Chain A
Amino acid sequence: MPAKGPRGKVHTVADRCKGCGFCIEFCPLKALRASGTMNRGGFHFPEIVTPDKCSGCNMCGMVCPDFAIWSEKLISEKDESES
């Protein structure tokens, strides 16, 4: 049986991040956190803690003022076998 798996995949470009924390705060599934490391600008960019939780809703991408994070929807194996 295919595992349920993540429904979305998050992409980040760490060096674009200015560390405002909007993506982390407004992720409805609380799947992000601030990284312990800093980017070129000295900001703690986001990283995904629980990739399995991500729904691909792109709320993180929509509230990012710096175009540094966004998500794509993944078509899960389950969806495909059902369709």
Chain B
Amino acid sequence: MKKQTKKETPLSIEPRPQNPIESLIRMERLPHMWCPGCGIGISMGAFARAVLESGIDQNLLSVVSGIGCTGRVAGYLRLDSFHTTHGRAIPFATGLKLANPKLKVVVYSGDGDLTSIGGNHLIHAARRNVDLTVILVNNLNYGMTGGQFGPTTPHEAFGTTAPYGNYEYPLNLPYLMDVCGANYVARWTVYHVRQLTRAMVEAMNKDGLSFIEVISPCPELYLRRNRLGDALQEMVYLKENSRIQNGAETRSVAIEQKRQEIIVGKFVDRERPGYIQAMDEHLGKAMGARYQRPSFWEK
């Protein structure tokens, strides 16, 4: 018989301490695919804390993403989440909300997904003030496909498809959402993680369309190609070059240059009727007693 070797097996293993947000994350899928220093993970942590802090019923919360590095958020959240096709998160989310208005529906996706291929949906969701929260992670390029320039890439920044620099000018997203009619418009960077979390709670409590632009470093592609330093340098840059200006005129908050001051804050917070309320009010008036909400809504 072999003699007993070395240590005895401990009778009990001390449980590993748990990060409080782990209840909202599919821990079995970690480590996640995001590069070291990528800001998307910070935004997702903020979202998880916002869900916990808001006390929102997680059984009635649904997250919809499109395609891209940011789109992967849907797969990492332990919530009813959907990873839709490229650009189509908003139409999918709109259908979900209208099929079951009791749901709180959050669209979580990238700048390319939501403003380029999906740009028309974003415009009309804001115009209709559809009852959705849209969290747009703006890393100033298409991350997942290798750093192409898109509608948010600053003028003269480099991308794989802009080897001599981008001669186009980018969209000013808060301004766009404001003029289209969204009820709530804010911008924070991932450095402003406390304010970002608070904004997410506020946005999820609003009727109508609430929109948060999250400025986030893409160190692997955008920062490297533009020689803007590493992720940590970018975070320090965001800290030092952002100015909080709540209620700022959205037309004045464009991010057009590679290096410029970034205005952050809550820009719009108003109470236009959301899509569902507008439908109820108008059809109730126009059709009188004949107006009935879909039977499957009341459960």
Chain A residues with a Cβ under 8 A of chain B: 11, 13, 16, 18-22, 25-26, 41, 43, 61-67, 70
B235 pairs with A67, CB closer than 8 A: no
Contacts A22-B37, A63-B235 known; 12 new A-B pairs at CB < 8 A = A18-B36, A20-B37, A25-B235, A26-B191, A43-B36, A63-B191, A64-B45, A66-B30, A66-B31, A67-B25, A67-B45, A70-B19
Say if the beta carbon of B20 comes within 8 Å of chain A. Answer: yes
Q: Chain B: which residue is nearest A40 at the CB level?
A: B31
A66 to B31, CA, bound (A): 7
A15 CB to nearest B CB, Å: 8
Say if the beta carbon of B112 comes within 8 Å of chain A. Answer: no
Q: Chain A: which residue is nearest B216 at the CB level?
A: A65
B20 pairs with A70, CB closer than 8 A: yes
Given A18-B37, A62-B42, A65-B42, A13–B232 Cβ distance below 8 Å?
no
Say if the beta carbon of B38 comes within 8 Å of chain A. Answer: yes
A71 to B63, CA, bound (A): 27
Kindly list chain B residues whose C-beta atoms are within 8 Å of the C-beta of A20. 36-37, 231-232
Kindly list chain B residues whose C-beta atoms are within 8 Å of the C-beta of A21. 232
Chain B residues with a Cβ under 8 A of chain A: 16-17, 19-22, 25, 30-32, 34-42, 45-46, 49, 190-191, 193-194, 197, 231-232, 235-236
A13 to B30, CA, bound (A): 12
Q: Chain A: which residue is nearest B239 at the CB level?
A: A26
Selected A-B contacts with CB under 8 Å, 21 pairs: A16-B31, A18-B36, A20-B36, A22-B232, A25-B232, A25-B236, A61-B19, A62-B42, A63-B190, A63-B191, A63-B193, A63-B235, A64-B41, A65-B37, A65-B40, A65-B41, A66-B31, A66-B32, A66-B41, A67-B45, A70-B21
Most buried by A among B16, B17, B40: B17
B218 CB to nearest A CB, Å: 12
A20 to B21, CA, bound (A): 20
B235 pairs with A26, CB closer than 8 A: yes
Kindly list chain B residues whose C-beta atoms are within 8 Å of the C-beta of A26. 191, 235
